[in-house]
């Protein structure tokens, strides 16, 4: 995969996180938790595929900082 692919994946996850903000209460918590797990699992696989992959940078680009705020 290329850097361009990583950027697209992170953008989709981040956009989904931002859309989840329109949900209320329990649905919001469940949606954001699912997105966080998805991003973490995807980062694991991408790192296995490419040793130069920057996991922290990817997770930040996914908007995980938005989920934990």
pLDDT in tens, 22-65: 888 888 889 989 999 999 999 999 999 999 999 999 999 999 87
Distance, in Å, from the CA atom of 7 to the CA atom of 3, rounded to the nearest integer, reads 6
Range of the domain at 35: 3-68
Distance, in Å, from the CA atom of 27 to the CA atom of 24, rounded to the nearest integer, reads 6
How many structural domains compose the chain?
Answer: 1
pTM across the whole model: 0.83
Q: How confident is the model at residue 66 (pLDDT cuts 50, 70, 90)?
A: low
Q: How confident is the model at residue 10 (pLDDT cuts 50, 70, 90)?
A: very high
Closest Cα to residue 61, out of 6, 19, 22, 5? 6
């Amino acid at each position: 995969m290329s850097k361009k692919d990583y950027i697209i994946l992170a953008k989709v996850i981040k956009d989904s996180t931002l859309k989840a903000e329109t949900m209320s209460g329990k649905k919001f918590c469940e949606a954001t938790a699912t997105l966080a797990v998805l991003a973490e699992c995807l980062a694991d696989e991408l790192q296995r595929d490419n040793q130069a992959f920057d996991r922290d940078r990817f997770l930040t680009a996914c908007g995980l900082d938005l989920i934990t705020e």
